[in-house]
Amino acid sequence: MSSDTVTLYIKGNRDVEVTKEEVTLGDILSMECADKKIIPKVKSLRILKIQQPGRQRYVISILRIISCIHKNCPGIEVQNLGETDIIVTCENQSTPGKWWHMVKTVFVAAVTFFGAAFTIMAFNNDVDVTRLFGQIHELATGEETSGFTILEVTYSVGLTVGILLFFNHFGKKRFTVDPTPMEIQMRLYENDIQTTLVENASRRGDEIDVDSSDSSGSGRT
């Protein structure tokens, strides 16, 4: 490697959202180079032109990106520190109204609340918690239960506290800095979706790779 060779470090996330029809490298990559004059030139290079309106997804190979840089900026050594395949999602940004957000929030909260309540009641009925608590109360006090004792109170309070501690979340407050179980499952779900998109594009030959004929948006997934 020549001592005059300039090294450009690039890093791209696996999933990037854009709103422009002409996507440049600066829209999907982070860059660092000792020669600061190179970065603006590389960022302005077009890598994808979206021809069809609406929500579209494209998979771009890092080899296509490196080839684009070498073609337009000869003599630059490119070091990739990010993903090997980048999913570019193009979607026109349209902000729904405030009332629509409120309706969706109320609907999701209602479904979650009643679903959880039904599940808990079904479990309690299945294991006959009322009869179990009655037997425990009779063994401890020697008296028959009237149907409402300290056991039911502590059970209800403990159930609520346990749910809050498990999900590590109450409103906007977190009990620890760890991610919540819901966040972990959502990240795993996102990773599965991204892996499937990349594999499907590769199998169908839709991936925008180094040997693709153009970058006009034909590699849609």
Confidence of residue 213 (pLDDT cuts 50, 70, 90): low
Strands 15-18 and 85-90: what pairing? parallel
Top CATH class, 6-94: mainly beta
The Cα–Cα gap between 218 and 211 comes to: 13
The Cα–Cα gap between 211 and 64 comes to: 8
User: What are the backbone dihedrals phi and psi of residue 215, each rounded to the nearest 5 degrees, phi first?
Assistant: -125, 40
For the chain, domain boundaries: 6-94, 98-199
Tally Cβ neighbours within 10 Å of residue 174.
13
pTM, entire model? 0.70
Question: Does position 219 have pLDDT exceeding 70, yes or no?
Answer: no
Taking phi first (over 0 means left), then psi (-120 to 50 degrees means alpha), and beta for anything else, what does residue 142 get?
A: left
The Cα–Cα gap between 32 and 48 comes to: 22
Question: Does position 114 have pLDDT exceeding 90, yes or no?
Answer: yes
Q: What would the DSSP string read from start to end of 1-24?
A: --TTPEEEEEE--SEEEE--SEEE
Q: How far is CA 32 from CA 10, 54, 81, 82, in A?
A: 7, 33, 11, 13
Rg (CA), the chain: 28
Per-residue pLDDT of 64-105, as tens digits, reads 999 999 999 888 999 999 999 999 988 776 666 788 888 988
- Min mean pLDDT across 64-73, 144-153, 201-210 is at 144-153
Per-residue pLDDT of 133-146, as tens digits, reads 888 878 887 777 77
Question: Does position 51 have pLDDT exceeding 70, yes or no?
Answer: yes
Closest CA to 160 of 97, 214, 213, 113: 113
Confidence of residue 214 (pLDDT cuts 50, 70, 90): low
Question: Does position 218 have pLDDT exceeding 60, yes or no?
Answer: no
